[in-house]
Structure formats: C-alpha cells, structure tokens
Amino acid sequence: MKFTKTAIAALIATVAISGAAQAAALDQFKSFVASTKSAKGDFTQQQVGKSKSGKVAPVSSGTFVFARPGKFIWTYQKPYEQLLQADGDQLYIYDKDLNQVTSRKLGNALGSSPAAILFGSNDLEKNFTLSEAGERDGAEWLNAVPKTKDTTFEQIGIGLKGGVPVAMELKDQFGQVSVLKFTNFQRNPALGAQQFRFEAPKGADVVKQ
C-alpha cells in the first residue's frame, strides 16, 4: 500500500499560555507564524473512518523538519518508508520500495496547501480565510479555508496549545478527513547549511515531472 496523492498533497497544511487559560487560536497562530522560522518534531497521520473495504486506515508516523519558506524534510517511517523533501526550489518524493525519486518544481505548489501552514511564507491570509473554531481536546482550534478553488482541500483545522500546532485536520473535496498530530515540536532549532540539499539514493531512478 502506497500513500495516496491526498496524503502527499497534505504534505505539499503565539501567545503563550497565561495561567490556566490559553490565548485564542488565531492569536496563537499568528504569533507562531511570525516567530517560527524553523522547527522539527514527530508526527502521526491517519485517515478518519473506515475505507471502502471496511477496514480502519493504518496510522503512519515519522519525523519532520522545516525552514521557511519552502524547505522541509517530511519522513514517513511506518508502516511504509517514504520521503518528501523540498529545498525551496524543487520537491523530491522518494519511494524506498520502488527505489524511485520523483522530482518536480516546487513553484506555487505550497500556496493553498496544508504544507503552507508550516513550510510556506508568512503571508498566509493571502491564501486562506482564517476563523476561530473554539476549544476541543485541550487545544484551541482555528479553521483555514483556501481562497482558491484549485486545491485538494476544502478546509484545514489547526489545533494549537502552548503556542505551537499540536494537530491538523484536513478535509478534502470528497469529505474525507485526515488527522495529523505533532509531538516533540521544537521551534527554531539550529540547522546545518546543507540540511535540505537532496541527494538521490544510490541506484535510484529519478523521474522529473
């Protein structure tokens, strides 16, 4: 089983806590975007509900690291290994089982995609309409609706706690919802100058799109 285009597209979606009360999600989010130039951590990803076959979707997990704008390494470790990496100019998708790299121009692909939330520029309100969505599961939530219709997703929910994203809910045009949860989120870590330079694994086929 390989990751769907929707899962890949998902990759291509702060005011600190004061006392016991959290700041509103929108305030936390704007502060996070303004003050976070890079980050790294762990994630899990799962599609909500059952597939057409009646089976519950497996939970994917892995690690991420990003530097704004447009540089990231998103690594799926379980249940299948896959790598999505962008150097600010090109996007590379490496499928270990096939030993194949797909390369394409990053261009404006981040624009209204969920990846723009974490990896894009700071001008998010240019591409999204943002609104408060209340408190749930110990986090403050906001909704981000893409302003363009040329996108895979209808709506992106972002849950924040302590000034950083802890979850994202991605609703696509077919009503399917994927949930991302973030842990060990580190803001503005020291990153090497060559951190995002991609080198194709030995013997891998490279396909340009």
**Inside any domain, residue 96:** yes
What predicted TM-score, i.e. pTM, was given to this entire model?
Answer: 0.81
Helix or strand (DSSP H, E) at 7? helix 5-9
Number of domains present in the structure of the chain: 1
Residue-range definition of the domain harbouring residue 29 = 5-13+16-186
Q: How many CA atoms lie within 13 A of 160 on its CB side?
A: 30
**Inside any domain, residue 140:** yes
Which pLDDT tens digits describe the chain residue by residue (209 residues)? 455 555 555 554 422 222 223 568 989 888 988 899 999 999 999 988 755 666 778 899 999 999 988 899 999 999 989 999 999 899 999 999 999 999 988 875 565 566 777 777 667 777 788 899 999 989 999 998 888 776 778 888 999 999 999 999 989 888 889 999 999 999 999 998 789 999 999 889 999 88
**Inside any domain, residue 208:** no
**Inside any domain, residue 20:** yes
**Inside any domain, residue 142:** yes
**Inside any domain, residue 25:** yes
In angstroms, the CA 57 to CA 163 distance is: 30
Could you report how far apart the first and last alpha carbons of the chain are, in Å? 22
**Inside any domain, residue 197:** no
Cite the DSSP H helix spans in 77-160.
Answer: 115-119
